[in-house]
Amino acid sequence: MDAVPLVLDGYLAAAAEPGDREGTAAWRLTCSTGTDHLVEEAVIPCTTIEPDIAHALLTERQPGDLLRVVGHLTFPETAGGGIRLHADGIEVLWEAPLLDADGDDVDTAAAAESDAGRLSAIAALAEALTGFGQAPGPGQSIRIHISPTGALGTGLGHCHSFDITPATAHRLADYVDAMSCYLDSEHSDSVVVDPQTSAELTELFEDVDLIDLTNAVLNATRPENRSAVTQAMDDMFGDVPAPEDTDP
């Protein structure tokens, strides 16, 4: 069967290995359809006979790197065979951070709890983004990648990719801006009032005569509602004159 031209995005599942001949390499690519269902993920064996690509895979790339592989997909000639992607070119879309060699002393229980919370957050965000808006057309997509930081290893199952339209990206940016404004409003204690403004407000309220204010409010209140209004003002300002003590 003829090889099929293919461009495939996926994460490097494990370190690449040298091929049978010099200047060749073999590796496995973990690919996803961009949904949150693990059954829709696949591991694709890849090979290359291009020395430059083989050298880059063997010396520069590490597990967890997100790669775009351009090549030809071949199908098995027998029922027991497997498919294989023969790479003519690769593009690094995202590099996985290196492991910190000094991290062996970290509290294992705390690290496990933190990692569980991180993976739960990734799953929640992936679920929210799955199916967000309409699927983009060819050439009109913006790709969002979500994955744990650090060398991924078994964390490859928690990597997700989403394609959205520019219009959806603008909507998402608006939602983030709105959320940021809301969060900022939650921290009013950090707002510092200008001293001059504070002095003007203090002077304004010092000039308020509570008796005159009470008389004005109660005189504008229907007689049957005066007791409730008096109680409300008493709760707000302290003792206020009773309705019978105000001007008729």
Average pLDDT over residues 178-199: 68
Q: Are 34 and 104 in contact (CB under 8 A)?
A: no
Q: Would you tell me how many other CB atoms lie within 10 Å of the CB of residue 209?
A: 9
State how far the Cα of 142 lies from the Cα of 162, in Å rounded to an integer: 8
Is residue 97 over pLDDT 70? yes
Average pLDDT over residues 173-191: 70
State how far the Cα of 174 lies from the Cα of 100, in Å rounded to an integer: 36
Predicted confidence at residue 70, as pLDDT, reads 94
Is residue 33 over pLDDT 60? no
The burial class, CB within 10 Å (0-12 / 13-18 / 19+), for 88 is: middle
Is residue 205 over pLDDT 70? yes
pLDDT in tens, 80-96: 678 899 999 999 998 88
Predicted confidence at residue 109, as pLDDT, reads 59
Is residue 177 over pLDDT 90? no
Q: Degrees (nearest 5) of the Cα angle 208, 210, 213? A: 85
> What band does 180 get if pLDDT is binned at 50, 70 and 90?
confident
Across all residues in the chain, what is the average pLDDT?
A: 77
The torsion defined by the Cα of 115, 116, 119 and 121, in degrees rounded to 10, comes to: -110
pLDDT in tens, 107-152: 555 666 677 788 888 888 888 877 665 666 666 678 888 877 765 5
Lowest mean pLDDT among 1-15, 21-35, 99-113, 232-246: 99-113
Q: Degrees (nearest 5) of the Cα angle 138, 144, 145? A: 125
Residue 219 or residue 182, greater confidence: 219
Q: How far apart are the first and last CA of the chain?
A: 102
Q: Are 85 and 67 in contact (CB under 8 A)?
A: no
Predicted confidence at residue 204, as pLDDT, reads 77
Average pLDDT over residues 179-204: 69
Report pTM.
0.46
Predicted confidence at residue 53, as pLDDT, reads 94
Predicted confidence at residue 52, as pLDDT, reads 94
Q: Are 212 and 231 in contact (CB under 8 A)?
A: no
Domains of the chain: 4-94 (2.40.50.140), 103-188 (no CATH), 195-245 (no CATH)
